Amino acid sequence: MLLEQAKVVAIPTETVYGLAGNALDKAAVAQIFHIKNRPFFDPLIVHTHSLAGIDELVQEFPVAARRLAEQTMPGAVTLLLPKRSHIPDLVTSGLPNVAVRIPNHPLTLALLSSLSFPLAAPSANPFGYISPTTAQHVADQLGDRLPYILDGGACSIGIESTIVGFPNQQATIYRMGGMTIELLEDLLQQKIVLAPQQSNSPQTAGQLDQHYSPTAPMLLGNIEQLINTHSDRQRIGVLSFQNPYLHLPNVVERFILSPDGDMIIAAQHLFAAMRYLDAQHLDLIIAEPLPEIGLGRAINDRLRRAAAKATHFPPL
């Protein structure tokens, strides 16, 4: 099997497609960083098939963390816990904690159950670009660098997992994602705090200021105001939640995330929508934030990071 030969392949999960290699093999892990062109200071997430598998990877499994895992895994939650010594420092960027999860996808769960090692698997795209939610997205970006892509269909959630740690017994979110804060607080019966973002020295995946970015400049805010401000742009794409924003000048492409206002549907469509608009040779993509509740928080987090590099962009 390719994975047993320290090769790297693409695998499906319910969140996004992952670029997977043996998490305990330094050569395989180094290949992941190389293929993605990912900086070594940005830690990876380790995937396993069971709570017993997590026990083999971590030194401590706090009571609250285990209770959360029992209620949500397999699922879109990643736990950040103290690592065992056999996990290469390359996986955690030299940090003492490892991010671990059990993905909720039947093909990948079957694959993980058949292996004698866990898989390190960041998103299967070039570093900093839009995450992939179909096998075709992976093929379009990394197909010439991978020996195999396991096609598991479109991802059912469409944004990355929520990363939760328990420093000093306090439930803390390090990355918002496919499981909402509201649900996690209900399950844990405690208030969850948000960790400060550490873009220059991330504690786990998904904390960099700029990420998920299209190649076209992207702005986030009030769509009508931004279009008026940037009326010199002749080919503008609009990424909206519900409103089609018809009859606006210079808008040549539109993508509505969910006409019915369904956050789950919006999350499923987010990365595919960004990829679609980015393929249309636009001068500018303008997106609007969603209501800051439920999955809207995680979607807005991705939009803010995607738009970060376009704060200043050159004139036409």
Same domain, residue pair 43 and 156: yes
pLDDT in tens, 106-157: 999 999 999 999 999 999 999 989 999 999 999 999 999 999 999 999 999 9
Same domain, residue pair 164 and 223: no
Q: How far apart are CA 77 and CA 140, in angstroms?
A: 27
Peptide bond into 74 cis (omega under 30): yes
pLDDT in tens, 81-99: 999 999 999 999 999 999 9
Any domain includes 206 = no
- Answer with the one of 194, 227, 257 that is the final residue of a domain: 194
Same domain, residue pair 223 and 189: no
Same domain, residue pair 145 and 95: yes
Overall domain count for the chain: 2
Same domain, residue pair 187 and 229: no
Output the average pLDDT for the chain. 93
Where are any strands of DSSP class E within the chain? 9-11, 18-22, 45-47, 77-82, 97-101, 119-120, 162-165, 172-175, 193-194, 218-220, 236-240, 251-256, 284-287
What's the pLDDT at 234?
A: 86
Any domain includes 123 = yes
Domain of 290? 218-310
* SS3 at position 177: coil
Same domain, residue pair 57 and 175: yes
Any domain includes 63 = yes
What's the pLDDT at 247?
A: 87
pLDDT-above-90 percentage for the chain: 85
Is the pLDDT reported for residue 315 higher than 50?
no
Same domain, residue pair 250 and 151: no
pLDDT in tens, 230-261: 988 889 999 999 999 998 888 999 999 999 99
Any domain includes 213 = no
- Answer with the one of 160, 194, 228 that is the final residue of a domain: 194
Any domain includes 203 = no
What's the pLDDT at 201?
A: 65
Same domain, residue pair 107 and 241: no
Same domain, residue pair 243 and 167: no
What's the pLDDT at 316?
A: 44
Residues 6+ apart with CB under 8 A from 21: 3, 6, 7, 8, 9, 28, 29, 31, 32, 119, 120, 121
Any domain includes 187 = yes
Q: How far apart are CA 281 and CA 226, in angstroms?
A: 19
Any domain includes 176 = yes
Same domain, residue pair 21 and 118: yes
- HSE at residue 113, side-chain half, CA atoms within 13 A, is 10
Q: Over range 266-281, report the average pLDDT.
A: 96
pTM of the predicted model as reported, rounded to 2 decimal places: 0.92
Domain of 147, CATH number, reads 3.90.870.10
Domain of 257, CATH number, reads 3.40.50.11030
Residues 6+ apart with CB under 8 A from 41: 93, 201, 202
Q: How far apart are CA 245 and CA 222, in angstroms?
A: 11
- Answer with the one of 129, 159, 194 that is the final residue of a domain: 194
Same domain, residue pair 62 and 178: yes
Q: Distances from the Cα of 164 to the Cαs of 12, 168, 190, 228, in angstroms?
A: 22, 13, 13, 40
Facing residues of 21 across strands? 120
Same domain, residue pair 111 and 188: yes
pLDDT in tens, 168-206: 989 999 999 999 999 999 999 999 999 887 656 677 766
Any domain includes 199 = no
Q: Are strands 218-220 and 193-194 parallel, antiparallel or unpaired?
A: unpaired
What's the pLDDT at 211?
A: 73
Q: How far apart are CA 80 and CA 87, in angstroms?
A: 14
CA nearest neighbour of 181 among 192, 166, 197: 192
CA nearest neighbour of 203 among 167, 157, 159: 167
